[in-house]
Homo-oligomer: A and B are copies of this chain.
Amino acid sequence: MNVVELIRRKRDGGVLSADEIGAFVRGVTDGWVPDYQAAALLMAIYFRGLDGGELGALTDAMLHSGDVLDLSDIAGKKVDKHSTGGVGDKISLHLAPAVAACGVNVPMISGRGLGHTGGTLDKLEAIPGFDVHLDEARFRRVLGECGLALIGQTDRLAPADKQLYALRDVTGTVESVPLIAASIMSKKLAEGIDGLVLDVKVGSGAFMKTPERARELARTLWAIGRRAGKRVSAFLTDMDQPLGRWIGNAVEVHEALAVLRGQGEPDLVELTLALGGEMLVLGGVAASYAEGRERIARVLGDGSALARFRRCIELQGGQIPTTRWFAEEHEKVEAGAGFVQRIDAEAVGLAALALGAGRTRKEDEIDPGAWVRLMAKLGERVEPGHHVAFFSRPRDPAVAAEVRERLRAAFTLGPTPPAPRPLIVEVIR
């Protein structure tokens, strides 16, 4: 294979064959395609895109660069959920046990926080003892026993994606819809699932800031999944303000537990019913979306979802502390008075990052006890002298000043409430 010829063809808007894409991905993994040629092709793809056949071939080649789980010996359907990342998005934590409690298995492989967004894995690791690095045998045992297992990406799943992603990260080719989509789907399709619900975030706290970009990503993900023979639904959901009221790691587990006790914030509950209801439809245990939503509401109310979560935590070696397990000392932020007209979710995420709730570099340690709490959300009225946010007090006063400023600036208050925004923007089935 002449790699320069492939680069030039893609650069000029041509199409690569499945064989060519397969050989390229193997070449990158085996090392005979040098990084500089891979980088040039990735940048050409950034500008020219990939058509459906190319996308399928790229996803397939990355998927088959490693192990593909076969979960057919575990009874029942397996359905996962994937979110493109947001601020305060702890949905996976309570959604997976709720869906499992309704009879659909959730073999969930999650990632870490990226930039201003949190990661399910980091949140789970805030639970003392919780082990996200299960080997395949233990993963199957946990999944078989409680209907869900919550683990991290292993080196054996889609290793070519890992290598290409590392190269994209240092060559300015991360923000390409087809490359993002193939990367996500190669890992999800390696999970041995029957169905997948995608939660594509849109707004100030999402990677996709506009509905157009988010829709493009949602459709691309959806098409790859369908082409691979899976049942797929894609939700476009609002990430123009953080989900729930807490941002951090231990605090988000805490807030997810509240949902499982039937005491969740309205936006958290609504999104859980929507995504969970759809997962039940794809898993074949609900005849309709409405029925699916009802069943999820029931297991959130009757304690069965909570029991599943407790059982999963126990099987994965964790234990929820009985005493307060996140920072108590805190600071308060004022931002004037009036109706909250806008919350810059990315700024809130960056504030949490500055407190140590996330990583600025891969090798950073995170502080599971750090947090931000929103005292006012969109449309709520802030009285004079009241606060818009609290945050855990950092050791360094300079950090405190920075976080205070970020949070103050994240809020826009005005004399009237903003027009209400739908949480679910669009569904692609």
Contacts and interface: CB of A to CB of B under 8 A. Distances in A.
A35 B37 CA distance: 9
Interface stretch (A166-174, A217-225, A302-310): A166-174
A32 interface: no
A169 to B, nearest CB: 8
A8 B175 CA distance: 9
Interface string A155-194: 0000000000001011111010000000000000000000
A44 B172 contact: yes
Q: Is the interface of A mostly helix, strand, loop or mixed?
A: helix
Nearest to A7: B172
A43 B170 contact: no
A46 interface: yes
A36 B167 contact: yes
A230 B35 CA distance: 39
A77 B167 CA distance: 50
Instruction: Give the copy number.
Output: 2
B170 A4 contact: yes
Interface residues of A, number: 25
A289 B39 CA distance: 48
Contact of A171 (B7, B169, B170, B175): B7
25 contacts: A3-B170, A4-B170, A4-B171, A7-B171, A7-B172, A8-B172, A8-B175, A11-B43, A11-B46, A11-B172, A34-B170, A36-B36, A36-B38, A36-B167, A36-B170, A37-B39, A39-B40, A40-B42, A40-B171, A40-B172, A40-B173, A43-B43, A43-B44, A43-B47, A47-B47
Given A36-B38, A40-B172, 12 more contacts: A4-B169, A4-B171, A8-B172, A8-B175, A35-B35, A35-B36, A35-B39, A40-B42, A41-B172, A43-B43, A43-B44, A47-B47
